[in-house]
A and B are shown apart, each in its own frame.
Chain A
């Protein structure tokens, strides 16, 4: 993955594993939801994270990645988990809850206290950076 050698040492592999969402990605793209991916799942993942995937498809999978409790809604608890993982736990609890509150204020269209897939897709439409950040180069 990006290097010309074929055998990796343990340290080199460790250097590639610092994406805070790596477990969620594996869970979302694996067939039985427990993180074990087959070759087809692996291909699915790279197909979704490639340049040519349409925005709605990426938004759908991003929604599933950020939905930690798998209940089809991103609730406040999911948001707290996301923010904690994004900042490596270095924001205080008060700041985290403030950020979550503001996110819900901005993105929750039907005011039910959590984000549905439509809310998430509407928010993604306003973020032109999403296509370039939710992207893995091969």
Chain B
């Protein structure tokens, strides 16, 4: 660190000067707390010496430089200087805010474009103006400052101007007036004003009125749209009673609804619509519908647009080019030919692609919002300042929140104390052994469930008598659903036995284990469908069967969720807990388990889209019902979770889980089904092909034969899609971009460390300078007092003086 320079302050010598300088009372920038301090200062002078010694002893114990005197005992001049520091005036008065934002807009304008200094009016040159305002803001009238700010705002782009206005900590009325003033006619108008003639006064007025009307119409539409958002009142009530954490579950549900609606729109428009429009239902006796179809999906649902088998493999609406199955050739007038197999394949592909892009974008956006460099440090400060949820309005809920915060702070302090005194090697070994055992048991449970599902499905394939009954089809979904319900409870019991230092980690570990279990079961089921069922159902429509299985799984999942909510929350809380155990505690709403159930249902939907295009509609109905059931049960029976919940981190985690294991798994399943599995030869749009992907290749060959006009499409297909070199190139580029981004982030982290050091050094400099100021003013005051003392002594009898002069 450089040696501080000797600083010589030009301090007025005579006491009479102090009366001419403006006193702190006159400056509008000095806050009223300083008035009080200046008044009290005179009372504390007597106690000054004793208090100062005590505080110095306490302060120097910490080893840091501190202010040598607390503010109350500083001199008037020092107080005045401190009061006009920029960090004290910014945010204190309206004028200071305006001047701060003026300098910010000047910097913005300078950064975007450097105007020629000669064009500016002499008094408006930015560098001088900045210097003036920062050192002496009281010299300018507030209206002048405001007009300068308005001029600067006019020179910015509209979006930047709005952004700057929104960030200003002024009242709404002032912001509105600033916006009005800065919204002026453009230069074009100014130029033509001199020309006259074409644009008369009335025309300009009419234009302004039209603009204003459009603007207010736009605002009204925006507010109307916001009022129409579904479940606004319900979400507000949930947020008010339970806080942001439980609200995040319902918001996640809304997100899933949006994804499903998008997918359904595509499928209805491009697959179901044409099929229904051009081909009526097959002739023949209509199968009788019993109520069981709603659960099994078989029976009278089989030969409808709901499942893959019903779709035609021909080109619809073609004028008698290729014969349709069985029916007469009826030439239709006009209309485009619609290649059904191609449409089926590419619509499902496009749906998945759009879902992928949307998912990755929202995940990246959420990640960017919730993770910051260095966000793991500073947990105490963040808990104190950012954990109070202002949404919570009810007394009971805010009491609960206060309890939660108290518990959290106690846990943080305990963690810190534990880290101060580290555990012995023996204790750590014991902890590691317990952790390892719990993990082993949970993984064993997951593996056991997967093996059980495999064995049971093989048993179902082998037993012919069960295959006859329709109700027997429900056994596998029931078994899998019960396993999915029961095993997480078991894992939670195991987790209670193992020691955990931080409760946040516990939540993550529980989510991880639950996810592994569900993935193991789903993996086994996928092998069972695409591996075994395809082989067993040769000659029949295996795709219909798989679609129906997935429908059954979805419905059974919903039924079991209903039962779980009923028995887990209503019966347990109301009847058992109150009567038998005499506890008045309501069950907690387990957010992680419920969100994982939603993700599981969505995975089933994505797995089944290829085989049952209406499955997203079923999922939408299911999600709507789940919303109302969960909301009712929550408001009636549950309480908010006691564990700390970082809402934004958790939303990112859930979106990531939705993207990576769930969507990726479904995409892999889809790719395997499209590329490797031979479609059945008796039903569906791909019945004559070797694999579903061949429909695209057939079409490309048809295009090649069609003529030279569309020759670029086959070229693109041969060299970009089928050729692996292109894929390698794109992957290599992507990896390079990711690596560069990692390096940039690393560099930014280093810069942040350097800046922190710089701030700390500046702080030390500031304290040093303030102490120097104190000492200079102290010395000056002492000199004055001694001078006043000597002048008083000269009035004393001259005999004493002659004695002193003699010395």
Residues of A whose CB lies within 8 Å of any CB of B are 1-2, 14-21, 40-41, 43-44, 47, 49, 52-54, 56-57, 60-62, 64, 66, 69-72, 79, 82-83, 86-88, 90-91, 95, 98-99, 102-103, 106-107, 109-113, 116-118, 120, 123-138
Contact = CB atoms under 8 A, between A and B. Distances in A.
Contact of B384 (A17, A82, A116): A82
With a 10 A CB-CB cut-off, give which of A47, A87, A91 has the most chain B CB atoms: A87
A13 B172 CA distance: 27
A128 B369 contact: yes
Contact of B409 (A54, A87, A112, A117): A87
Given A41-B171, A72-B31, A110-B762, A19 B390 contact: yes
A82 B379 CA distance: 16
Interface string B57-68: 000000010110
Contacts of B140: none
Given A2-B237, A54-B167, A71 B386 contact: no
Contacts of B405: 86-87
Contact of B167 (A41, A57, A126): A57
B91 interface: yes
Nearest to A136: B390
A133 B387 contact: yes
Contact of B374 (A2, A87, A126): A126
B753 to A, nearest CB: 12
Contacts of B239: 137
Contacts of B399: 18, 88
A57 B384 contact: no
With a 10 A CB-CB cut-off, give which of B163, B235, B382, B394 has the most chain A CB atoms: B382
Interface string B740-759: 00000000000000001001
B385 A40 contact: no
With a 10 A CB-CB cut-off, give which of A14, A62, A69, A110 has the most chain B CB atoms: A110
B763 interface: yes
Contact of A110 (B370, B398, B759): B759
Nearest to B89: A72
A133 B378 contact: no
A18 B377 contact: no
Contacts of A20: 388, 398, 402
A134 B390 contact: yes
A123 B382 contact: yes
A103 B380 contact: yes
A95 B393 CA distance: 28
Contacts of A69: 33
Chain B interface size range: 35 or more
Nearest to A61: B169
A34 B115 CA distance: 46
B390 A56 contact: no
A44 B172 contact: yes
B88 interface: yes
A3 to B, nearest CB: 9
Given A57-B166, A61-B169, A128-B371, A133 B389 contact: yes
A101 to B, nearest CB: 9
B92 A129 contact: no
Interface in B163-182: 163, 166-169, 171-173
Contacts of A18: 394-395, 398-399
Contact of B33 (A70, A116, A136): A70
A126 B413 contact: no
With a 10 A CB-CB cut-off, give which of A16, A107, A109, A111 has the most chain B CB atoms: A111
Contact of A99 (B173, B382, B384, B759): B384
A128 B648 contact: yes
Contacts, number: 191
B648 A132 contact: yes
A110 B166 contact: no
Given A95-B413, A103-B380, A127 B167 contact: no
Given A18-B394, A71-B31, A106-B377, 12 more contacts: A17-B395, A18-B398, A57-B169, A103-B384, A110-B764, A111-B760, A123-B385, A126-B372, A126-B382, A128-B371, A129-B387, A133-B391
B375 interface: yes
Contact of A21 (B173, B369, B388): B388
Contact of B91 (A87, A106, A117): A117
B415 to A, nearest CB: 11
Contacts of A109: 756, 759-760, 763
B390 A128 contact: no
Nearest to B384: A103
Nearest to B240: A2
B380 A102 contact: yes
A82 B387 CA distance: 12
B388 A86 contact: yes
Contacts of A116: 87
A112 B765 CA distance: 11
Contacts of A47: 172
Given A107-B378, A111-B64, A132-B648, A40 B171 contact: yes
Contact of A129 (B386, B393, B759): B386
B647 interface: yes
Given A87-B405, A106-B378, A110-B762, A128 B649 contact: yes
B378 A1 contact: no
20 contacts: A2-B393, A15-B394, A19-B393, A20-B388, A43-B172, A47-B172, A54-B163, A60-B91, A72-B87, A83-B409, A86-B384, A87-B402, A91-B410, A102-B380, A107-B378, A117-B91, A127-B375, A129-B646, A135-B390, A137-B236
- Name the 10 nearest CB pairs between A and B, nearest first: A110-B763, A87-B406, A128-B370, A109-B759, A18-B395, A107-B381, A102-B380, A106-B378, A127-B386, A18-B398
A113 B621 CA distance: 57
B61 to A, nearest CB: 13
Contacts of B430: none
B656 interface: no
Contacts of A102: 380-381, 416
Nearest to B91: A117
A82 B240 CA distance: 22
A107 B646 CA distance: 20
B386 A124 contact: yes
A95 B392 CA distance: 26
Contacts of A136: 390-391
B386 A106 contact: no
A137 B172 contact: no
Given A91-B410, A110-B759, A40 B402 contact: no
B767 interface: yes
Contacts of B764: 110-111
Contact of A19 (B385, B398, B648): B398
A98 B166 contact: no
B760 A110 contact: yes
B409 A99 contact: yes
Given A71-B33, A123-B378, A137 B235 contact: yes
Contacts of A135: 390-391
B785 interface: no
Interface in B757-785: 759-760, 762-764, 766-767
A132 B647 contact: yes
Contacts of A72: 31, 87-88, 91-92
Contacts of A61: 169
B244 interface: yes
A74 B255 CA distance: 39
Nearest to B235: A137
A13 B577 CA distance: 31
